[in-house]
Amino acid sequence: MPMFFMLAEAVILASTCSIDAFTASFAYGIERVRIPLLSNGVINLICSSILGVSLWAGSIVRPYLPDWLTIAVCFSILFLLGISKLLQGMSKTKLTADVDDDKIISPAESVTLAVSLSLDGIGVGFGMALRNIHSVSCTIPTSVKRTRTHNKPTHASPKAGQEQRANRGATKGQKKALAF
């Protein structure tokens, strides 16, 4: 397979698997919930590992399935994922990863967020591996894409960004004065 097609598959897979992470990051940013670097690393590690394992599992099963069954399995996986996303979009969901309501996703809280974000990665990774995608070339770009998605600024307004910049070099007393 030419390198261009392998790269294109990897970029498409990374973009597809990162849409949920981008949406969740955006929603948490609007609610002013921060995702620190350590929590981001935990999310990235779990999501990329689950995707890698599902790609590996699909590549193990692929030689034992006839082509018609591979196509049927891939279609079923994508169809069910699409239906579940449609149903999720129609229902109002509350942001539930911040269990203690401190507006910061701790590493422990990020585990549940990562598992929920990687559920569609299981199906997509397995289905892509059944169609003979190169597993390693897809896991690495997906990991990088997720890291970039979660490192987006989490403040929702320009005023919040100005307050954050003003508080950076301030002492405790100055921060209290800035709050008024």
| Amino acid sitting at position 99 | V
Determine the pLDDT at residue 1. 59
pLDDT surpassing 90 at residue 38: yes
Determine the pLDDT at residue 37. 93
pLDDT surpassing 70 at residue 159: no
Pick from 48, 38, 39: which is nearest to 135 by CA? 48
Q: What b/e string do you get for 83-121 counting C-beta neighbours within 10 Å, with b at 16 or more?
A: eeeeeeeeeeeeeebbeeeeeebbeebbbebbeebbebb
pLDDT tens per residue across span 90-123: 665 566 787 888 888 999 989 988 888 888 788 8
CA distances for 76 relative to 24, 43, 81, 118, 127, angstroms: 25, 27, 8, 18, 9
Reported pTM: 0.67
Q: What b/e string do you get for 134-170 counting C-beta neighbours within 10 Å, with b at 16 or more?
A: bbebbbebbbebbbebbeeebeeeeeeeeeeeeeeee
Determine the pLDDT at residue 139. 57
d(CA 86, CA 66): 30
pLDDT surpassing 80 at residue 45: yes
Cβ neighbour number for residue 124 with a 10 Å cutoff: 24
pLDDT tens per residue across span 65-81: 998 998 898 889 888 88
d(CA 121, CA 157): 31
Q: Residue ranges of the domains in the chain?
A: 3-179
Q: For the residues 32-42, what does the mean pLDDT come to?
A: 91
Q: Among residues of the chain, what percentage have pLDDT more than 70?
A: 69
